[in-house]
Amino acid sequence: MTNPSTLYRGGVLHCPADPSATALLVSGGRITWLGVDADAPAANRVVDLGGALVTPAFVDAHVHATDTGLALSGLDLSGVRSAGELLDAVAGFAAGLPADAVVLGHGWDESR
């Protein structure tokens, strides 16, 4: 007997194995294929993800909501290498915010 398969397509997949992936196939409770929608294999069932985020292989049952929010909407300073670059990055980011907004940054490593 063949395992029923489900193709999940049209999503945003966070998967280092294939950063361009927009679809995945699940058979027998396991991911059996990962790639772009156009190359997707046939499946018994197709689910349109409507652009939803899919994070295959994440099995941790909790999230740090504040850190996740910062990563999604804050200022990523992980590539900044000097105090001058830091100030430029903050000024550039703040320029796109309302005058009374608070800038929340993450990733700054002052030891570099």
Q: What residues have CB less than 8 Å from 48, skipping those under 6 apart? A: 9, 10
Secondary structure (DSSP) of 10-64: S-EE--TT-TT--EEEEETTEEEEEE-GGGPPP-SEEEE-TT-EE-TT-------
Q: Are 56 and 15 in contact (CB under 8 A)?
A: yes
- What are the pLDDT digits (tens) for 33-70? 999 999 999 999 999 999 998 887 666 666 777 777 77
75-99 tens-digit pLDDT: 999 899 999 999 999 999 999 999 9
